[in-house]
Amino acid sequence: MDTATTTTNLTDGMHILADALLKNGINKMYGVIGIPVTDVARIGQGDGIRYIGFRHEADAGNAAAAEGFLTGKPGLFVTVSAPGYLNGLAPLKAATVNGFPCIMMSGSSTRNIVDMGEGDYEGLDQLNYAKPFCKAAYRIDRPEDIALGVARAIRAASSGRPGGVYLDLPGEMLGATMDQAAADATLFEVVDPKPAMIPAQASIDRALDLLANAKQPLVYIGKGAALAQAEDEVNAFIEQTGIPYLAMSMAKGLIPDDNPLNSGSCRGATMRGADVVLLIGARLNWMLNFGIGKAWNPDVKFIQIDIDPTEIDNSRQIVAPIVGDIKSAMGLLLEGLKKIPVKAPQAWVDSLNEAKKVNVAKFATRTEADTVPMTHYNALGAVKKVMDMNPDVYLVNEGANTLDDCRDIVNIYKPRHRLDCGTWGVMGVGTGYAIGAAVTTGESVVSIHGDSAFGFDGMEVETACRYNLPIVFMVFNNGGIYRGDFENIGTDGDPSPLTLMASARYDKMIEAFGGVGYNATTPAEVEQMLTEALAAKKPALINVVIDIHTGKESGHIGNLNPVPVKGPLAPKPTA
């Protein structure tokens, strides 16, 4: 139908999509391509969107989520229909649970064939399946709606509590044509995608009154504060009030970890002692024992800053809710200090300092030990030394003991410089996060994985090599999930369900792709090899040989396991 002259005035869905994304500053796309999105990536790349091709959609999704956490703007990933789409749903949901802004775009098959259940190529009712797995889901059925669809996705992902958004892109729509000028006229830039939400002054005054009268106040900083980029306000508030604080794992570095008011090394005593707690972007979910029980002072009162009003009273009463965005809330709290001054009582600060001394000394004997084979502790003690010298380097961390011990041992000095398993404790997020962080920031990344955790997504070392990214992967190889010496309690002679290959040389994996492999057996080697690998600014992998007899079952959360009533796993009766 089209003549040569009219064709030149036509554009198509894939070109309009690239234009709409670029119009909104989305200039990166992670993904795995195939029918019908191959040209979404190729055309995007041609138009100036950096495309990072992965080996598995989950890792592309995690990279996009990492970008969202680091920048506050949604990261974008693309998948093919049904199977690729399903691989992408897991990171989309995890990003939503974590509150990271990101957008998953999937190609989809022909609507009428899918809806009639006729068995289309990779046919699946993707839009409806996506809905419970994300914050919002839209299908763009017409090329003239692309700009609107992109705008809706950006706003839904970024505003309020951020999260994952699904955009369904039917192949027919991607190939549909439109007059270029008419298509250009549909493009627009989203104005103020995450508007400030200013809390009521009365909620600020109520909170300050409580803090001013507290004997043992505590500030608990969560990853919401990191997402809100509220480091200046949070630092000023701690400095002016002198209140001891604790940081959730991804809030580490918002205030440099070596701040004397950081009470991380006596977390238990701090939580049990605090009578008033200001939560800044941290939920009272399982990670904080729901704000109840033995972990907390029975008379504790909570102040909670959160952008989501339904988060308040989630698991117990919040006596002073502050509903609004953290940056605005902290600004108002700082302003309010002029009227209602708050100073942490010195006796409380002193008592915590005493508790810290004891714990720090106890920890140092473990992290400084030169035991070989290494434990998680002394290997991480060596990592800490190198990270202390390289505060700009981003840290990614997953595993059980590898996660919990690293969080406690390795200091972070800058905001949003630590990414980990997050609210759900997901294994297999690490390489995607590391690649997302390296691509987004251009900085070096140290990516520390348990040997089990690394198994989920280790193939992405090829991606790191293909794009020549400055990532040093470290595999803490203790030969298993939690540790390597569990035994099969049956009689078939198979390895135990927790056992992996302690003899594995993960460093050889990266050598297959031209990266540099190291095998570290002592803390001194860890320190020297990590220093060298970071200085090279090239992909590297250090196989860190850890004693198979070290590591607690489920790390620090073994208490969450159901206890068998009988059989060899039942715990010995305690007196």
| Residue 227 binding partner per list Mg ion, ligand ADP, ligand TPW, none, with a CB distance cut-off of 5 to 8 Å that depends on partner kind | ligand ADP
| Residue 453 binding partner per list ligand TPW, ligand ADP, Mg ion, none, with a CB distance cut-off of 5 to 8 Å that depends on partner kind | ligand TPW
Comparing CB distances to ligand TPW, the nearer of 164 and 170 is: 164
Measuring CA to CA, how many Å separate 50 from each of 11, 436, 457, 571?
A: 21, 12, 22, 54
Comparing CB distances to ligand TPW, the nearer of 400 and 509 is: 400
Alpha helices (H) along 215-345 = 223-227, 231-241, 267-273, 326-336
Rounded Cα gap, residues 338 and 175, in angstroms: 61
Return the residues of window 76-105 that contact ligand ADP according to CB under 6 A: 98-99
Return the residues of window 439-458 that contact Mg ion according to CB under 5 A: 450-451
Closest CA to 301 of 276, 267, 264, 269: 276
Comparing CB distances to Mg ion, the nearer of 92 and 548 is: 548
| Residue 308 binding partner per list ligand TPW, Mg ion, ligand ADP, none, with a CB distance cut-off of 5 to 8 Å that depends on partner kind | ligand ADP
User: Would you count residue 67 as binding Mg ion (CB under 5 A)?
Assistant: no
| Residue 428 binding partner per list ligand TPW, Mg ion, ligand ADP, none, with a CB distance cut-off of 5 to 8 Å that depends on partner kind | ligand TPW
77, 30 contact by CB (below 8 A)? yes
Please provide the size of the chain in residues: 575
Comparing CB distances to ligand TPW, the nearer of 58 and 82 is: 58
Return the residues of window 286-315 that contact ligand ADP according to CB under 6 A: 287, 306-308, 311
Comparing CB distances to ligand TPW, the nearer of 261 and 374 is: 374
Comparing CB distances to ligand TPW, the nearer of 199 and 450 is: 450
84, 105 contact by CB (below 8 A)? no
Residue 212, H or E segment: helix 201-212
The least distance separating Mg ion from the CB of residue 395, rounded to whole angstroms, comes to 18
The least distance separating Mg ion from the CB of residue 542, rounded to whole angstroms, comes to 15
| Residue 325 binding partner per list ligand TPW, Mg ion, ligand ADP, none, with a CB distance cut-off of 5 to 8 Å that depends on partner kind | ligand ADP
Binding segment (CB under 6 A) for ligand ADP, from list 151-159, 278-286, 442-450, 559-567: 278-286
48, 22 contact by CB (below 8 A)? yes
The least distance separating ligand TPW from the CB of residue 540, rounded to whole angstroms, comes to 20
| Residue 378 binding partner per list ligand ADP, Mg ion, ligand TPW, none, with a CB distance cut-off of 5 to 8 Å that depends on partner kind | none
Q: 249, 478, 499, 550: which one contacts Mg ion (CB under 5 A)?
A: 478
Comparing CB distances to ligand TPW, the nearer of 43 and 396 is: 396
Comparing CB distances to ligand TPW, the nearer of 98 and 159 is: 98
Cis preceding linkage at 373, omega within 30: yes
Binding pattern to ligand ADP, positions 308-347, x when CB under 6 A?
A: x--x-------------xx---------------------
The residue at minimum Cβ distance from ligand TPW is 450
Comparing CB distances to ligand ADP, the nearer of 57 and 311 is: 311
Comparing CB distances to ligand TPW, the nearer of 61 and 551 is: 551
For 499, phi then psi, to 5°, come to -85, 135
Q: Which amino acid is at 512?
A: A
The least distance separating ligand TPW from the CB of residue 15, rounded to whole angstroms, comes to 37
In angstroms, how far is the first alpha carbon of the chain from the final one?
87
Q: 176, 178, 190, 282: which one contacts ligand ADP (CB under 6 A)?
A: 282
Region of residue 161 (phi > 0: left; psi between -120 and 50: alpha; otherwise: beta): beta
Exposed, middle or buried: residue 384 (CB in 10 Å: 0-12, 13-18, 19+)?
A: middle
Q: Which amino acid is at 105?
A: M
The least distance separating ligand TPW from the CB of residue 361, rounded to whole angstroms, comes to 25
Region of residue 315 (phi > 0: left; psi between -120 and 50: alpha; otherwise: beta): alpha
Q: 80, 165, 250, 303: which one contacts ligand ADP (CB under 6 A)?
A: 250
Comparing CB distances to ligand ADP, the nearer of 186 and 411 is: 411
| Residue 400 binding partner per list Mg ion, ligand TPW, ligand ADP, none, with a CB distance cut-off of 5 to 8 Å that depends on partner kind | ligand TPW
The least distance separating Mg ion from the CB of residue 454, rounded to whole angstroms, comes to 9
Binding segment (CB under 6 A) for ligand ADP, from list 19-27, 182-190, 277-285, 462-470: 277-285
Q: Tell me the Cα Rg of the chain.
A: 25
According to DSSP, residue 546 is labeled B
Comparing CB distances to Mg ion, the nearer of 120 and 420 is: 420
320-323 and 102-108 strand pairing: unpaired
Rounded Cα gap, residues 390 and 570, in angstroms: 45
Cβ neighbors of 161 (< 8 A, separation 6 or more) are: 99, 135, 224, 306, 307, 308, 311
Rounded Cα gap, residues 375 and 230, in angstroms: 36
Q: What b-and-e string marks burial along 469-484, b requiring 16 or more CB atoms within 10 Å of the CB?
A: bbbbbbbbbbbbbbbb
Comparing CB distances to ligand TPW, the nearer of 241 and 397 is: 397
Residue 304, H or E segment: strand 301-306
Rounded Cα gap, residues 478 and 476, in angstroms: 6
The least distance separating ligand ADP from the CB of residue 201, rounded to whole angstroms, comes to 17
217-221 and 276-280 strand pairing: parallel
Alpha helices (H) along 274-419 = 326-336, 346-367, 376-389, 401-409
According to DSSP, residue 262 is labeled B
Closest CA to 457 of 506, 411, 514, 501: 506
Binding pattern to ligand ADP, positions 404-433, x when CB under 6 A?
A: -------------------x----------
Binding site for ligand TPW (CB under 6 A): 399-402, 425-428, 450-453, 476, 478, 481-482, 551, 555
Measuring CA to CA, how many Å separate 192 from each of 57, 73, 155, 539?
A: 30, 11, 9, 38
Comparing CB distances to ligand TPW, the nearer of 256 and 455 is: 455
Q: In the complex, which residues of this chain contact Mg ion (CB under 5 A)?
A: 450-451, 478
- Residues forming contacts to ligand ADP in the complex (CB under 6 A) are 98-99, 161, 222-224, 227-228, 248, 250-251, 281-283, 285, 287, 306-308, 311, 325-326, 423
